[in-house]
Structures are given as structure tokens and as C-alpha cells.
Structure 1
Amino acid sequence: MKRTHRSWLFIVVCFLALQKTAAAQDANSVVAHRDLVYAEVPGEENETRTLQLDLFVPAMSEKPALVVWIHGGGWRNGSRGNPKLMEATENGYALASLSYRFSKEAIFPAQVHDCKAAIRWLRANAKQYGYDADWIAVAGSSAGGHLALLLGTSGDVAELEGEVGGNLEQSSRVQAVIDYFGPSDFVLRGKTQPERAYTDRSGSYALLGGKDGTVPEQMERLASPATYVSTDDPPLLIFHGTADKTVLLDQSERMVELYEALGLEVELIQHEGAGHGGKRFFARDSLQKAIVFLNDHRPD
């Protein structure tokens, strides 16, 4: 009898453990919507091509707030796959990861036109996919950080709005920005890092229509998030490595200077000895700081 009782007790314990595991999995499950077309743009040989995004919505969260991830790659390569802030979905956020045109297809401002089109599409389709798009945070690394900064600072700038994808009745403004080592001021970069600003060593050279070792200053100013900083800009969190030789730390310091001059909320987290990117920026303490930043600024 004792052996039978122990066997049943073991079965019950295992059953309860499985139920607890299943409940935890359900609580953390995410519904993935991949390859969603948010716009069509001109392609090769007068054909159109689609711009797409992937959307991840926590199954157990009721209308979660939305975080948009913009990948890096020098505006000339990269992928929306494996977004760096996927952990946001474990903290009650929906996450969208988008693709945009590279500089070989179209020079600036096509890239920010695409990103703003994605924001408008996400607002227009929030009800269908079950997230709350009244408040949107945007984050990106390197070239994606530059585009995230632009989304934050250039609200209602007509020249950067564009008409890609339609949904023009929707706002392209964002309410919080996380920038990972993105360029912010191309005029400054031309002074402190000309070996990159005016050569193919940096993707910004092609992005801004560079030729014969020069880039029109008008394009440098047009593409610089620093150009548009104003009193209605959203809170900003920046991560940057002190040993970054690809995008110098002065690019992030410039944003801090401009934000602080207007009394805007900004924080620069410097990783001592870190270069341009790496796991350190998206692990443990850094990830937690990003989540805290989102939690602090999302609406109740």
C-alpha cells in the first residue's frame, strides 16, 4: 500500500509541475506575425517592391504598449530578423521589427520616410493585431539608432515625413527613444571623423549622396537628428561605448548637450572600453535599464 501511495503521490506532483510549467509558457507565449507589408515602393525596372515588418504580440497581455526596433548595418545591409530587444515581449510589450530601403536603392531621406510609414501603419492596424499604439517607443542600433533618433526629433517635419505607405491621417510621432551608438550630427562627424564621413568606410557617405570625397552640407544637416531637437521631443536613453571608433562617443554627447540645453530628459550610459556594438549592450544590466526606461515612460 505504501508503494502504491508513493506512486500516486509522485504522479500528482509531476502533474502539478507540468501544469505550472504550461501556465508559465502560456504567460510568456508570443504571437508572431511575420512579413507584414507596411508599404510598397518603386523597385527595379519600374516594378514595385514591398517593405515589411515582423510583429510580436504577447498572448497574455491585454493591448500591450508597442516598441519598434530598427536594425543597423550602415544603411546598406542588415536584417530585421532577431531584433535585439525581443526581451521586451517578456515584459508586457509588443515588438515590431522593420525593414527599410538601403542606400543602394535610394539615398536619404528614403530611409526615414520608410520608418515613418511603418509607424503610421502600426497605428492604423493596432486594433487588428491587439496592441496599443497611442504610445510608441522606438529603438535602434548604429544606423538604426540614427533612424530612431530622427523619429524622435523630427515630428511634423514635412520634408522628412514623406507619403510612403499612405495612412497619412495617422501620426508618425514616437513617445520614447532608445539609441544604441547611432550617429546624430553628420556636420560634427565631418569635423571629428572625416576619414569615415567622406569615404566609403562609412555607409553615411553613400546615404547622403557623397561624391569625390565630399558630402553636401545641406544633406548632412537634413539627415542629422541634432538639427531638429526641440522642446516637444520625447525622453531619450542612449548607450555608447567609450572605445567606439566607428561612431565616436561625441555623437551621443552632442544629443545630451542639445537635450539638456532645452531641459529635456536624456541619459547617456557609457560602456567603458566597449567598441561599436556587442552583446554587452543587450545583456543583463543594460537590458534591465532599457526595460526600466520603457516602464517609467509608458502610460499607466
Structure 2
Amino acid sequence: MRFLLLLALTFPILAQCQKVSSAPAGYRALRNLDYVGAGDPRQMLDLYLPEVKADKPHPLLVYIHGGGWEAGSKNEADVLLGLIQGGTPYAGASLNYRLTDQAQWPAQIFDCKAAIRWLRAHAKEYNLDPDKIAVFGISAGGHLVSMLGVTGGVKELEGELGKHLDQSSRVSCVLDFCGPSDFLTFGGKGSVIDPDDPKGALAKLIGGPLKDRREEGRKASPVTYITPDDAPFLIIHGDKDPLVPYAQATELDTALKAAHISSTLVTGSEGGHVFLSGPLLERMYAFNARHLFGKDVQIPEGAVPSK
């Protein structure tokens, strides 16, 4: 219950939080690890390691922040820290990536993949299990973790950043919290966001309004890349999300299941864009317990309270 209480206290302020998340009791934090080697603060990550000695390497949960690809920081990691303390401790990482005022797509996924390769290359040094790397993201971060989950081995999205191109960027499982999945079906009813707004977040990401950049929108959409060898997904989405339509979640879930990928859709009843409830957090923890620790636990689909 301790990790549920911690998340309940910190979750509502994540979008506005600018402070550096403190390492929780029993953990040490390694700050500003340069996963590319270029000295760019937007290409650095923080690593949270259990202080307890372990006979086996620690599974790792990597958090990718939201903010419409134009804002946000790795410092907003309180929700990650709450999750890694639940049950058997495991390691956590929170990473920065280049925002759209600095670089357009696919720079963001290039950065995320470089970070995964760096973590895998340094797994022995930090006692991490390179075969058990989960990714968790909210909103724009949900989009990026979904891309990580479905594009392992997609050469054109690997990039050439960092010193560890020999390492895989594949991940073990994905927790996608209200992330966009298909920009070509994003418009219409259900969102206050206009994908054809030339000054909007999506236009900044793909280089212009969607109506003029449909191929770029397709290439930036997770549903485009789904194959049977993709990672298992936990998809979390509020059915009243005013920013990313709930239909984005059902479309991704349907496409994954059609490809025989394990996908569990958890719907926040009357939930907006990011929400919190005890039953939701329990399912998130159970998902990690199953896929990172091999525990025989069930993660029910369906609705959960959003408060």
C-alpha cells in the first residue's frame, strides 16, 4: 500500500513538476548520465538503483515523460519511483529526449532508442538485467514507449546516436498511458486538438499540419509498425480524454491483438487525460510483476475507477 499512497500524493502534479525527483529510501540516484556522449542535457538520463545487494541483476523500468513533445523533463519521475518500490524492488531510469523546438521527428525516437542501447550496454556495470527492460510513458511519452514496443529492429528508426549501435533497442514490455497511436485517425470528434493546426504540437513534431504531412504522420504512428514479435502492452486510457481520443487506445489494442500480441486495455471510467485510482495502480504493478519478474498474476481488462 505504501507505493499506492506515494503515487496518490504525487501523480496530480506531474505535468507541472519541475523539481528533481528525490531518490526514495533504499535507492541511490545517478544523475545526468549522457547516453549519446554529445553533452546535450536533452540526451541524458537519471538512474535509480536499489541499494540492497542482490544475487541477480535488477529488472529495469524506464520512464519517458510527456508534454506534447515540446515540454517536460526527466525530473518528473515521482510516478516511476512509486512503481519501482512496489513489492520486490527494481531499478528505474528517467530520460530526457530532444523536444520539437530543437529537432523534429524522428529525433525523439532516435534518442529513446539510444538510451535503451546505452542502458543495455551498461547493464553489468549497474547490475541491471538487459533482458528485462520495461518502458512506461504518459501522453507524448506514451506515444514514444509504444514506438519502442513495436519498432525493435526497424532500421530506419534506430538512428546512429551513441557508441552502442551493436546493442538492441528492443524492450520487454510497454505501459502506454494515454499515448497517441495513429495520427491519421487522430482528428474529428473526441479531442480539442486540431491535427491540422500549423502551430499545434503535432505540426511541430512532423514538420507541418497533418493534412500536408500525412506520410510523415503515418511513419510517426505506432500502429504502422505492428508485427507478431512486438512486446506485450498494457494500454491505459480514460474514456473521456479530451486531448487524446479514447479511440486511439481501442485502435491500438485491436491492432495488437490482431497480430497476436499480448495487449491489455484498462479503461478509466469517466477518466480524463491522465487519471489515478488504486485499482489502476494495482494493475500497473501486476503487469510489471508478470513481465519483469515472471510472476503468475492476472491483469484484468476492462474499466477501473478514474478516482
Q: Tell me the TM-score normalised to structure 2 length.
A: 0.81
Q: Deviations over 1:67-101 (max 9, x none)?
A: 10000000000111132221232132100000000
Aligned partner of 1:49 in structure 2 is 40
- On the 8 A contact 1:28/1:60 being kept in 2, the answer is no
Q: Deviations over 1:210-245 (max 9, x none)?
A: 15x734111011100000011001110011111101
Could you say which structure has the higher helix fraction? 1
The separation in 2 between residues aligned to 1:250 and 1:187, in whole angstroms, is: 12
- Which residue of the other structure, out of 81, 91, 98, is the alignment partner of 1:94? 91
- The verdict on how the C-alpha distance between 1:194 and 1:31 changes in structure 2, with shifts beyond 3 A counting, is closer
- Runs of 4 or more, structure 1, over 2 Å off, are 190-195
What amino acid is aligned across from residue 202 of structure 2 in structure 1? S
Aligned partner of 1:45 in structure 2 is none
Superposition pairs of residues 52-91 of structure 1, within 5 angstroms = 52-60=44-52, 62=54, 63-83=57-77, 84-91=79-86
- Which residue of the other structure, out of 120, 124, 127, is the alignment partner of 1:123? 120
- Which residue of the other structure, out of 153, 156, 159, is the alignment partner of 1:159? 156
Pairwise CA distance, 1:299: 4.9
- Which residue of the other structure, out of 252, 274, 286, is the alignment partner of 2:280? 286
Task: Establish whether residue 189 from structure 1 lines up as the match of residue 186 from structure 2.
Answer: yes
Aligned partner of 1:207 in structure 2 is 205
Q: CA RMSD in A?
A: 1.9
- On the 8 A contact 1:235/1:264 being kept in 2, the answer is yes
- The verdict on how the C-alpha distance between 1:53 and 1:195 changes in structure 2, with shifts beyond 3 A counting, is closer
* Higher Cα Rg, which structure: 1
The separation in 2 between residues aligned to 1:250 and 1:115, in whole angstroms, is: 26
- On the 8 A contact 2:192/2:243 being kept in 1, the answer is no
Farther-moved stretch of structure 1 (81-90 vs 195-204) = 195-204
Any gaps of 5 or more consecutive residues in structure 1?
A: 1-26, 42-47
What amino acid is aligned across from residue 115 of structure 1 in structure 2? C
- On the 8 A contact 1:28/1:58 being kept in 2, the answer is no
- On the 8 A contact 2:61/2:84 being kept in 1, the answer is no
Aligned partner of 1:265 in structure 2 is 262
The separation in 2 between residues aligned to 1:195 and 1:175, in whole angstroms, is: 32
- Percent pairwise identity: 40
Pairwise CA distance, 1:35: 1.1
The separation in 2 between residues aligned to 1:71 and 1:124, in whole angstroms, is: 22
Q: Tell me the TM-score normalised to structure 1 length.
A: 0.83
- The verdict on how the C-alpha distance between 1:194 and 1:214 changes in structure 2, with shifts beyond 3 A counting, is farther
Aligned partner of 1:21 in structure 2 is none
The separation in 1 between residues aligned to 2:139 and 2:218, in whole angstroms, is: 18
Superposition pairs of residues 195-274 of structure 1, within 5 angstroms = 196-199=194-197, 202-211=200-209, 214-274=211-271
